[in-house]
Amino acid sequence: MNTYLLVNIIGVLVFLAIAFLFSKDHKHINWRSVIIVLVLNLVIAYLLTNFSVGRDIVKATAEGFQWLVNISYKGIAVAFPDWVNVKQMNFFTAALMPILMIVPLFDILTYFGILPFIIKWIGRGMAFVTGQPKFESFYAIEMMFLGNTEAMAVSSVQLKNISAQRVLTIAMMSMSCITAAMVGAYAQMVPGQYVLTAIPLNILNAIIVTNILNPVQISAEEDKVYEIGDVSSQQEAAEVVSDRPEKPEREPFFSFLGDSILGAGRLILIIVANVIAFVALATLISKLLGLINPWLSLEHIMGVIMFPFAWLMGLDVNHAFQFAQFMGTKLVTNEFVVMSEIAPKISNPKLFSPHYQAQLTVFLTSFANVSTVGMIIGCLKGIVSRDKNDLISKNVGYLFLSGILVSLMSAGIVGLFIW
């Protein structure tokens, strides 16, 4: 057997072992679910790396979500044409402003019971395969293209009613998604077939990693899909109809829609504030480290830490060190910084072997970085109760660890099939 392939196989097992080492509850890990999803992961990775049909399906789905996002840009252009009609939209316009349409749209689907119905049946099918609760199973699909903040925002009814531990699972899973709007941009800078391969693998690996890191046991009564009007024990009860005391009164539609739009706007401001603060603080730390030694920075420190994991991808020492530096830069800044750097040369086989090229592309294709932690915390602050927010804030390390392990797992598994 190829020595590097053997190291790659060992690497995938090591990544799983790290998740087990940091697990919050070793006794209640659903190993049956982990094994089933891992096998599914390997099958999908094989199909996507060897056949184009699977990639075409993923691409068509991504284009569907992109169509939805493009419609939202029409509304944004009415108020801010100079923000939309440009060669490259900024982060605020491209990633956050669509929330103003997407959240009310999904809230309308929730109001009329359509989204809960979809969650219930798709979630039931996914739950049968993965062994996970219905909402978590559906959320894995939902965030595949919709993005973390958008997926959490449109799932606000569910998040308000599930337990704090389950919200933590959702937050950890949210580190590993992308938005449909970014797929086309990624594919222009790095090999598109590996970008499309990474999308479903990240979702499956998010299920595996969060299942190990934060196993949550729920009863059959808790494994339900909530609708408008459902309240949890932590929330205030809604006004009750006099002749039907068991059923909360549903708010008039346009009042509900107005609240949804205002809530989406408030959510955007909270997310922006947290992203700016997190990135600025990370930059400040890097600058302060640079005063000690010009070489020192968070990116370089993370690169050194990531070196053994890069080597476990089945790379020689020189390429592993370079890979680790790309990893460190991506985790501290974002994937676009690295993609912009490697775009002119990643297709050169003399510089990037097919194995290296595939693994690096897959590792980069996710939102796992410092600013995403800020986005998730900011988004949840605008949705869930204080006690749930406090739990998320206490487990920022777990969010970051989850995002890194998912990216490592996805890259490691793809590497098994491409040499």
Is 8 within 8 Å of 419 (Cβ atoms)?
A: no
Q: At what angle are helices 335-342 and 354-364 packed, to 10 degrees?
A: 150
> Comparing 6-10, 21-25, 188-192, 414-418, which segment has the lowest mean pLDDT?
188-192
- pLDDT bucket at 62, cuts 50 / 70 / 90: low
Instruction: Give long-range contacts, CB 8 A cutoff, 24+ apart: 20-27.
Output: 20/212, 22/213, 22/398, 22/401, 23/212, 23/213, 23/214, 23/215, 24/213, 24/214, 24/215, 24/398, 25/214, 25/215
165: how many CB neighbours lie within 10 A of its CB?
Answer: 17
pLDDT for res 12: 94
Q: What is the CA radius of gyration of the chain?
A: 21
Q: Where are the domains of the chain?
A: 3-234+255-415
Average pLDDT over residues 249-263: 79
pLDDT for res 241: 38
| Residue 235 tokens, joined | 């929330």
Residue-wise pLDDT for 340-380, tens only, equals 788 888 878 778 888 999 999 999 988 888 878 888 888 88
What pTM was estimated for this model as a whole? 0.77
Pairwise CA distance, residues 180 & 397, whole Å = 27
Residue-wise pLDDT for 200-254, tens only, equals 899 899 999 999 999 988 887 778 777 766 655 344 334 333 344 454 566 788 8
pLDDT for res 236: 39
- CA distances 87 to 83, 94, 109, Å, are 10, 12, 33
Ranked by mean pLDDT, which of 75-89, 146-160, 218-232 comes out on top?
A: 75-89
Q: Which stretches within 96-237 are classed as H helix?
A: 99-111, 114-130, 134-146, 148-154, 156-161, 164-173, 180-189, 192-213
What are the DSSP calls for 220-243, one per residue? TTTS----TT---TTSPPPPEETT
Average pLDDT over residues 323-343: 83
Percent of the chain past pLDDT 90, that is, above it, reads 24
pLDDT for res 114: 80
Is residue 105 over pLDDT 90?
A: no
pLDDT for res 141: 77
Sign of the CA dihedral with 105 first, then 107, 113, and 115 last: positive
Is residue 308 over pLDDT 90?
A: yes
Phi, psi of 245 (to 5 degrees): -60, -15
- pLDDT bucket at 20, cuts 50 / 70 / 90: very high
Q: Which residues contact 390 (CB under 8 A, 6 or more apart)?
A: none
DSSP state letter for 30: -
